[in-house]
Structure 1
């Protein structure tokens, strides 16, 4: 069923409008029960885009990389069908954040075309990786002043933040975000304007947004449907984007490529609308805390930097002194893009906060990732003692000495019998990384 309501202009980032009020301005097909047929999804996309003034305009389609489960060929195919022959230019931009670029073969599989034959499937469309490592790919949108950052972060940080964004977004008339909405350790629930910041953003706003999230802590912020301080900062950055900003936000069925829902509107209202569905479908509540977790990491996560989501989504449900085993025999390294994490290792938030002069030169996004995987804990600056609430153990191809040096546990993945673990009382989570577990 399609729920249709008027779609006025986006509310400003500092609006008093609640997420529930914003959600009512979007249009949604589907909901928390059941899944949608592919032809329903395609028809919805074509109908919604037919109602937008896009003729003769250029459109940048911003999509996730391969670390998000999503029927992207279906979605991009429907978008292309709706825009082809109408728009002056069409570019699909992969929101890598700071992940590894996707190869042509990976892009072809991801978007649904034969490698080297993009034009045959999507005539007139260009596909670009977000080259976050290349300064010339960015446009300068201005600066969020320290006083405003202090307001947005609720007093946690006060500094000027340069706002750089991939120039492909800026050089198109319309930016159309297409992708899933999921519980997220930094922002609360992902999607919407997050595809711009950090999806295709410069390092400064990535570092600041992630460190604000780390100061709040992953366990506190993850799964929050409200406008968190990080979401407020992201929306503030997005308000500087000159393009018209629209989004097709989807909520998928866990463990499959089927969709529960798809929401369309501006990037704020469509996100809020989809976040309501996500909170109902992607959060599992447990009656008692679990003590031993086998978190089975799917192969779409190629390193611990991305596979750590298998911890983030479990931490709130783990007992004090419990253990989360990141079971990923396919993973061979901690990070393909951020070797500095091997130098600092994994520690709780206070380990860095109470030794700030020692660590402030490290990218704050890296520090944030460190705290997110290590979870809650305390650090005594006088004694140098760090106490961590939960043990984190890697069952990967990463050597034991590398794991220990990074302040993580190690176990040979060949020694783990998943079936026996489940029979012995361990909490086994297949396809970990997208469903959040909480205690009632």
Structure 2
């Protein structure tokens, strides 16, 4: 073996333990004279910074990390046909999807490709990772945009926490038809992080779909929390080192929406959120269209004058996912975005410094808390690590 490509998650999956695993693989291989390249699965996220790389991946030289350019640095392998999309979405989607991937995945100079990641409930696909790490993490714009939109149209609450969703079937099709001959081995973790300390419950390694299925079974046990009845007030904390945009911070919306009661309230404590989109174009689209609900976004999506939204289906899907459709209120408590900007995208706004006096993450414990004045809240210190569901309605 002469050359290996490692595809780990980026800093948004810090608690996956994939950083440590990547470090172990890197040193084990390089000590044996193997050349190793590292291509973080960014999707549309910002490249991993030098500081993030040091925290997550340890002493791997920063120059070994290759930024993924989802718009330009990909090759087209084929497409998932429209007829198949119609079949798996119950007739809700009618267009084919191009299968694009970073050109390095197809580089035959690599003797082994290690796709490392965490299996956890996910708003777009149902359960994250495996082929998603490839077709979204280092995939191209058509696959990223359309897969997200397929998930939004089909309905995220029909998919979260489940295997064999329409979006998962798109990726499975891509694996079977276009990547089956590539030397790809999946390294999948199932983790939780009580108190911020990573706890690894399972590690699944192999080159088949079986590793995904085994990991999903464990993640459904470890990463889905059922509450007995709908939560009236949910308070979610976003670690500023991990969440700097609502694009990522809206995991607080996605992962709790199945647990919050009708007429309830979601308060997002977001001291590190400074803008909306991960890149400037997506940020502009969020500001333009706002989190106005599924029907409003679909209506805007169909209007001939809104080509910018059609050209960025992933953003359109994100706007759908990030709205409660009026079922509960969403309040962002921030430090570096103005009230006018927050309200401009259809969230309620609050001062982080004011809210943290009453809802101090350092004092709240995970789950139900009763405050001195009798108010009952449900506190979640990191929404990325789980999925919360009202058992009465599941």
Report the TM-score, using the length of structure 1 for normalisation.
0.78
SS in 1 for 2:376: coil
Alpha-carbon distance in structure 2 between the residues aligned to 1:427 and 1:118:
40
Alpha-carbon distance in structure 1 between the residues aligned to 2:278 and 2:145:
18
Name the residue aligned to 1:103.
49
Give the number of equivalent residue pairs: 363
Alpha-carbon distance in structure 2 between the residues aligned to 1:154 and 1:243:
31
Superposed CA offset, 1:364-416 (max 9, x none): 110111111103x3xxxxxxxxxx11111111122111111111111112221
Alpha-carbon distance in structure 1 between the residues aligned to 2:322 and 2:111:
39
Name the residue aligned to 1:293.
234
SS in 1 for 2:114: strand
Deviation at 1:267, TM superposition (A): 4.9
Structure 1 contact 327–394 (Cα < 8 Å) conserved:
yes
Structure 1 contact 59–174 (Cα < 8 Å) conserved:
yes
Does the alignment pair 1:373 with 2:322? yes
Deviation at 1:355, TM superposition (A): 4.2
Deviation at 1:213, TM superposition (A): 0.7
Structure 1 contact 72–112 (Cα < 8 Å) conserved:
no
Q: CA 1:350 to 1:267, structure 2 compared with 1: closer, same or farther past 3 Å? A: farther
Superposed CA offset, 1:234-286 (max 9, x none): 12123312522211100112332221110111252211111111100011111
Q: CA 1:263 to 1:220, structure 2 compared with 1: closer, same or farther past 3 Å? A: same
Deviation at 1:336, TM superposition (A): 3.4
Structure 1 contact 291–321 (Cα < 8 Å) conserved:
yes
How large is the Cα RMSD of the aligned pairs?
2.1
Deviation at 1:166, TM superposition (A): 0.5
Deviation at 1:349, TM superposition (A): 1.7
Alpha-carbon distance in structure 2 between the residues aligned to 1:90 and 1:238:
23
Superposed CA offset, 1:37-94 (max 9, x none): xxxxxxxxxxxxxxxxxx34x3221110100112234201332344346675422110
Q: Tell me whether 424-433 or 299-308 shows the greater mean CA deviation.
A: 424-433
Does the alignment pair 1:175 with 2:113? yes
For structure 2, which runs of at least 5 residues remain unmatched after alignment? none
Does the alignment pair 1:148 with 2:109? no
Q: 2:102 aligns with which of 142, 166, 185?
A: 166
Alpha-carbon distance in structure 2 between the residues aligned to 1:146 and 1:217:
19
Alpha-carbon distance in structure 1 between the residues aligned to 2:299 and 2:340:
27
For structure 1, which runs of at least 5 residues remain unmatched after alignment? 1-54, 120-125, 378-387
Alpha-carbon distance in structure 1 between the residues aligned to 2:160 and 2:323:
15
Structure 2 contact 18–118 (Cα < 8 Å) conserved:
no
Alpha-carbon distance in structure 1 between the residues aligned to 2:129 and 2:139:
14
Superposed CA offset, 1:332-379 (max 9, x none): 21223122111110022222234442246411110111111103x3xx
Alpha-carbon distance in structure 2 between the residues aligned to 1:355 and 1:104:
39
